[in-house]
Amino acid sequence: MKGYVLDTSVLYYGKDLPQGFECVITPGVVRELDKEGMSARLELLMATRVRVSSPSERSLRKVSEESEKTGDSRRLSEADKELLALALDLGYELITDDYSIQNLARAMGIPARGFDQKGIAEVFVWQAKCKGCGKLFPADVRVCDVCGTETRTRRKKS
């Protein structure tokens, strides 16, 4: 059976979910929905169409490693990484409107598409740049080792 791994954003919209396919979410999505006061909607979805599953530790490690390579590690939450790892485990398509999730999914060869938004057109690799002196760093560096100023992430130029 083909299926979909759904991001929290997909469940916010209240639109119909894809029919005839298994829909799966992670415990991180459950926590995000509870935090947003959507527990009643979540209960209905879980009773009818959606199941909760956790990704393997192996896939979580792979997602973390790959996110370091692309520079997405700073842009992704733990819940985002869970989604990617679960899609990797199940071989399901990931549905999300989050461009950072789509970016890493594409870089890893995980099928992903937007739900209400157009998906990404190309994969970005990110880097950090010091706001003070302009020194460039890997994307996960938050403070410049030269002048001590915070960094910001930006798209790495080829």
Is 121 a member of any domain? no
Tell me the percentage of the chain whose pLDDT exceeds 90: 49
Q: What is the DSSP letter of 62?
A: H
In a shared domain, residues 109 and 130:
no
In a shared domain, residues 48 and 85:
yes
Question: Which pTM value belongs to this model?
Answer: 0.79
**Which domain range does residue 44 map to?**
3-113
| pLDDT for res 119 | 67
Contacts by 56-63 with C-beta closer than 8 Å and gap 24+?
56/85, 56/89, 59/84, 59/85, 59/86, 59/88, 59/89, 60/85, 62/88, 62/108, 63/88, 63/104, 63/108
Q: Average per-residue pLDDT in the chain? A: 87
The pLDDT of residue 1 is above 70? no
In a shared domain, residues 58 and 92:
yes
**Between helices 99-108 and 78-90, what is the axis angle to 10°?**
40
- As given in the structure block, the two tokens for residue 24 are 């799966």
Is 22 a member of any domain? yes
In a shared domain, residues 54 and 132:
no
| pLDDT for res 16 | 73
Cβ-contact 66, 35 below 8 angstroms: no
Is 118 a member of any domain? no
Name residue 76's amino acid.
Answer: L
Helix (H) or strand (E) holding 87: helix 78-90
In a shared domain, residues 71 and 147:
no
The pLDDT of residue 122 is above 60? yes
In a shared domain, residues 88 and 151:
no
Average the pLDDT over each of 50-64, 73-87, 141-155 and give the range with the smallest value. 141-155
In a shared domain, residues 29 and 70:
yes
Q: Please report, for the domain that includes residue 23, its CATH number.
A: 3.40.50.1010
Is 120 a member of any domain? no
Is 84 a member of any domain? yes
Is 41 a member of any domain? yes
Cα distance between residue 28 and residue 87, in whole Å: 14
In a shared domain, residues 151 and 103:
no
C-alpha 17: how far from chain center = 19
Is 131 a member of any domain? yes
What is the tally of structural domains in the chain? Answer: 2
**Between helices 78-90 and 27-35, what is the axis angle to 10°?**
140
| pLDDT for res 19 | 78
